[in-house]
Amino acid sequence: MLTKNFLQVGDRAPGFSAVAVYEQEFKQVKLSDYLGKYVILLFYPLDFTFVCPTEIIAFSEIYDQFYSLDTEILGISVDSEYCHLAWMQLDRDSGGVGDLKYPLVSDLNKQISLSYNVLNSEGKSLRGLFIIDKQGIIQHSLVNNLDFGRSVSETIRTLQAIQYVQSNPDEVCPANWQPGNATIKNTPTDSKEYFKSI
């Protein structure tokens, strides 16, 4: 019998409680508080680095689009909450991130990164992105190495596809699907309708 010893899509998202910085204040954040909403966990290596602010800012700039899709974002790194606060208080043109529309979570003890299997051998978080559904189940995971960032638009597209198939369980989304595009009925006979149209 095969045994599984790693986290994967379809598993319940590991819970956590940690200090975060939001609107220049410290607050306790629990993943369980977000049940009933979609959640994006956005792991990144370190504050005050080079690629990280581009991602953190990009997700903040279109936060309202995520919010309209009943989704919250949590940024997570192994920095302290004091480091997060200092980074937020630094202007963007000086390498800071300024005010953000979502919290940055401190994973100083590295337990969250470890539980999501994104902690590298140097003790930093890889660029892990997890989409968790309203029931607390991981529906999508993506992990990049440190030197290149993720696509915000692809994250939104993936989130929309997840929400669509969860609302329409007899349909699946083909490659490059966008809202409004044709889907595939998930039976051998009915799926032919889609394939005849392409």
Question: What does the angle CA 31 – CA 73 – CA 129 come to, to the nearest 5 degrees?
Answer: 90
Strands across the sheet with 38-43, in order? 25-30, 17-22, 104-106, 71-77, 38-43, 127-132, 138-144
Catalytic annotation, pick one of 13, 39, 42, 52: 52
The yes-or-no answer on residue 173 being catalytic is: no
What would the 3-class secondary structure string for 48-105 be? CCCHHHHHHHHHHHCHHHHHHCCEEEEEEECCCHHHHHHHHHCCHHHCCCCCCCCCEE
The strand pairing partners of 73, in sequence order, are: 40
Q: Which residues are catalytic?
A: 52
